[in-house]
Amino acid sequence: MEKVEIDLKEITGEELPVHEEIKVKKALEIFKSEKWWKFVSKQESFGRDEVAVYLFVKRDDEWKRKQKMKISDKNEWIKLRTAISQLL
């Protein structure tokens, strides 16, 4: 598989539409349009550190969560990365 360089934009100064109990430490934007927004965040959720991938859709001028996938630790990430690489 060839290596692709991607420069991701860090999301700063913009309120993220996540649950109020989630403390976002850092967020990187994957894609954003008028209707769709996908980003990855490193966050603390109810006292636990995790990484999450979010997909939001804009309805009635509000961002509504369509999908969320949490990755709790490096072992889970390695399994996901391996499976996805095999399918690409």
**pLDDT 10s digits, 5-39:** 788 899 998 899 999 999 999 999 999 999 999 99
Measured distance CA(65)–CA(12) in Å, rounded: 19
Range of the domain at 82: 9-87
Q: Is the pLDDT of residue 1 over 70?
A: no
Task: Work out how many domains the chain is built from and give that number.
Answer: 1
Is 3 inside a domain boundary? Answer: no
Mean per-residue pLDDT of the chain: 93
Is 40 inside a domain boundary? Answer: yes
Is 23 inside a domain boundary? Answer: yes
Prediction pTM value: 0.87
Query: Phi-psi category of 56—alpha, beta or left, where left has phi over 0 and alpha has psi -120 to 50?
Result: beta
Q: 56-88 burial, b for 16+ CB within 10 Å, e for fewer?
A: beeeeeebeeeeeeebeeeeeeeeeeeeeeeee
% of the chain at pLDDT higher than 90: 82
pLDDT in tens, 58-77: 999 999 999 999 999 999 99
